[in-house]
């Protein structure tokens, strides 16, 4: 059962992803008796390839493992934790890059669904690491891993003690800090996102903290043409990341 150094991965995409990418982390797989479809067969095959004997169980067993409210889709795996990185890991990652750094900084995102969605989009956009503070922010929970659909195992997630200091250290390494804020006149699409870059997004509803905003090299806003005044942080992250992808692809 899950302990201090392990967690449950649940949902077809998430379990498949960890079996494909980190099979050595998985020690047990449970699958619902009634799941006989192609997706279930794929998970079963991956488990067998990893020398794991899946256990066929009733739905009630899965519900007890991860909770009745969890959308486990008939499959749960027990996996060792992939620990978050730290400031030292981030420095090593930056030093090893042979392309301009592309980072996502999340300032106090507490909703695990939002963090999971941000990780998933970061993976799709080719982000080198997602950085967040240790305090008052979500870590890599089971919910995060489920929503991330495997991205929690592929995108380095760095938790730092002092976010402002980390931003200054990155600036010393030549990384440009672009934060999002409603308190600016510069449009996202006016910003140059082609060089070493960290996109900095704030928490749900609150935006960037004052000190975080002050440590940004520039602030940009997303055009809001309707009646709503702001977007969910994971949606904003997707818009910003893919504008950066567009610009970075165009200059190759």
CA dist 15 to 38, 45, 139, Å?
A: 14, 12, 19
Instruction: Retrieve residue 154's tokens.
Output: 């592929």
Instruction: Retrieve residue 211's tokens.
Output: 């000190």
Strand 75-80, strand 55-57: pairing: unpaired
Provide the angle, in degrees to the nearest 10, between the axes of the packed helices 163-172 and 87-96: 20
Judge if pTM exceeds 0.75.
yes
DSSP state of 236: H
Every domain range in the chain assigned CATH 3.40.1280.10: 87-250
- CATH 3.40.190.10 assigned to domain 6-80? The reply is no
CA dist 232 to 51, 56, 109, 118, 129, Å?
A: 41, 38, 11, 11, 21
Burial class (CB in 10 A: 0-12, 13-18, 19+), 38: exposed
Query: 178 — phi, psi (to 5°)?
Result: -115, 110
CA distance 185 to 9: 43
pLDDT at 4: 62
pLDDT at 93: 95
CA dist 100 to 109, 142, 193, 195, 226, Å?
A: 25, 32, 11, 6, 35
For the chain, give the percent of residues with pLDDT over 70: 98
Stretches in the chain below the pLDDT threshold 70:
1-4, 251-252
Q: For the chain, how long is the longest CA-to-CA vector?
A: 58
CA distance 126 to 123: 5
Every domain range in the chain assigned CATH 3.30.1330.30: 6-80
Q: What is the pLDDT of residues 210-238, one digit of tens each?
A: 999 999 999 999 887 877 777 889 999 99
| Choices 2.60.40.10, 3.40.50.720, 3.40.630.40, 3.40.1280.10: CATH for 87-250 | 3.40.1280.10
CA 236-241-243 angle, to 5 degrees, is 100
CA dist 96 to 59, 116, 128, 226, Å?
A: 46, 26, 11, 43
């Amino acid at each position: 059962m899950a302990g201090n150094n392990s967690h449950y991965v649940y949902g077809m995409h998430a379990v498949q992803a960890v079996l494909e990418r980190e099979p050595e982390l998985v020690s047990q797989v449970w699958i619902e008796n009634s799941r006989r479809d192609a997706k279930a067969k794929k998970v079963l095959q991956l488990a067998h390839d990893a020398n794991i004997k899946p256990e066929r169980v009733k739905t009630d067993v899965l519900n007890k493992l991860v909770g009745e409210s969890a959308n486990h889709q008939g499959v749960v795996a027990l996996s060792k934790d992939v620990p978050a990185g730290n400031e030292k890991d981030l420095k090593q990652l930056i030093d090893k890059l042979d392309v301009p750094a592309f980072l996502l900084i999340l300032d106090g995102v507490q909703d695990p669904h939002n963090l999971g969605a941000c990780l998933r989009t970061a993976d799709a956009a080719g982000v080198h690491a997602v950085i967040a503070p240790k305090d008052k922010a979500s870590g890599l929970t089971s919910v995060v891993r489920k929503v991330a659909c495997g991205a929690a195992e592929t995108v380095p997630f760095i938790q730092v003690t002092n976010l402002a200091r980390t931003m200054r250290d990155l600036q010393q390494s030549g990384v440009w800090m672009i934060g999002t804020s409603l308190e600016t006149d510069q449009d996202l699409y006016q910003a140059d996102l082609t060089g070493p870059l960290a996109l900095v997004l704030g928490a749900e509803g609150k935006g960037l903290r004052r000190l975080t905003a002050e440590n940004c090299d520039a602030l940009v806003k997303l055009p809001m043409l309707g009646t709503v005044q702001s977007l969910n942080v994971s949606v904003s992250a997707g818009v910003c990341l893919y504008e950066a992808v567009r610009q970075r692809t165009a200059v190759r």
